[in-house]
Chain A
């Protein structure tokens, strides 16, 4: 079967390049933005993911860390510990505060943890140690580099000076970093005796986290108990809500750019071939056959553009990982599916106008030139 659509499309290489490039650029915009948000979500929820806790307990009504403040009496830890299936409960303190050096400042999540328990602290120490003495901090390695400090240097946070004892990895996000200090340092500096922000709960082996969380919630009703998955999802939702509008705008821009690129290409390609379509009609091609031809051209353009966009997005992701690790670009199947659906819609819409033109084409015009 002769594919007139593909032959027409590949006949004019420049036009094909413009079309594919336009679609690729537009869809790459969508993919990259999605990738940055998804990557940031991974970073932002990295602490929740990596503490090792099965269940998180917060003040009643508090379901996130980002943009939230939670305060629980330490007695709540004893109540939770008494719940069947609970193996251990580790309180942490948490706030958002700048970390300052002589060269600048970096907004950070400050986590107060029990370094001797090994839970709730940094999970990937790349230099130094997480075994903290009073007045010591484990700070994110990327943020430390930006502030021009390293292990043994001093930084200021929560209003006093700390010595960097260790540097951690995976604790930097597009908006902030994470600094870990001792629980008692945090409590003293913030005057929070017998208080925790969150409780990190480990369940006995074989206990389903959802079952464990429900049991804790039932036993201690004045708190908020969530599985790690639920807590991550809630955290992600906050970030998504915050970025939703910009995402809509940027995705819309990408969609419109892609639509214009393909629509212009298909329209000009159709106009350039309108005489030949007239010939085909005169020879006996039905209108629906010609519609399919136009649509196939649009679809091939979009498919080529989308494929290029996905390949570029993965390349960009790898480059970002090397050059700009603090801005992660994570390409997900959901993003690719979104681009595929968007591309399909672009193909249909961009073919609509030329299809009308072809539909109205009078085959008799072939004889009237």
Chain B
């Protein structure tokens, strides 16, 4: 296990019981190497967030096992999980989730305090992390005084405060413009390459594929092969080629989520094949 920062074996998570039971994640296995960036993509409701929660010791799996840094988290009691999250994981959120009443420095310092680092040590460590991320001039600012990119950099500094083995990022670029998003991606890559931390990203952002070592597609609670998937040229939805409605055009096979999209495509195929980068009618 030691070669991997994080291992999940046959992990499932069910919600509800009896007729209302829903399986959000089913029998998923995953091994993430140290310093590896893994991007998990998938449609809404596919179980991405549930999987992220289980990997981050925020939710216990219904079955299966999860190890982080060689320690099994899935068998721990509820009261032991906060310490696992504090010491082994760094979290980056879509909405940044900075504490609004605290300054930039204090937002990082408080996580160190939680881990038992206090006083000058915590302050120095927080300042060093923030300075590394070009926020040395913003230490005493309030979150409300920062731009989106700066907020996300504070969140990254906070995620790194306790020197975690794994950084979990939930849509880290979703609320940022493309330039700032690129900057955040660069930082995530740096975290993995230079610091040897594993980075697991859940996102819909296709650009993150560029920095990912591995891209996983989660659908219906299961990982599916990316090679078997195609994008509907009409609505842009990712579809499984084996299950999708298809149509030939100029010697190529196009896959659709439903007959409606196929009919729309066939009525005006040039409109949808002019630019593959911008699917959709408008």
Chain A residues engaging chain B, CB cutoff 8 angstroms: 1-2, 4, 7-8, 10-11, 273, 275-276, 279-286, 289, 363-364, 366-369
Contact = CB atoms under 8 A, between A and B. Distances in A.
A286 B82 CA distance: 6
B106 A7 contact: yes
Contact of A280 (B49, B87, B99): B99
A367 B58 contact: yes
Given A2-B110, A7-B102, A367-B170, A282 B58 contact: yes
A366 B82 CA distance: 15
Interface string B144-176: 000000000000001000100000001000000
Interface stretch (B112-120, B209-217, B236-244): B112-120
B100 A11 contact: yes
B53 A367 contact: yes
A364 B115 CA distance: 20
A2 B91 contact: no
A364 B53 contact: yes
Interface string B91-112: 1010101011110001001110
Contact of A283 (B49, B86, B100, B119): B86
Given A1-B113, A2-B109, A284 B85 contact: yes
B99 A279 contact: yes
Nearest to A10: B101
B93 A281 contact: no
Given A284-B85, A369-B95, A363 B58 contact: yes
B72 to A, nearest CB: 18
Contacts of B101: 4, 7-8, 10-11, 273
Nearest to B56: A282
A284 B102 contact: no
Nearest to A7: B101
A194 B259 CA distance: 122
B235 interface: no
A1 B100 contact: no
Interface in B167-223: 170
A289 to B, nearest CB: 7
B138 to A, nearest CB: 17
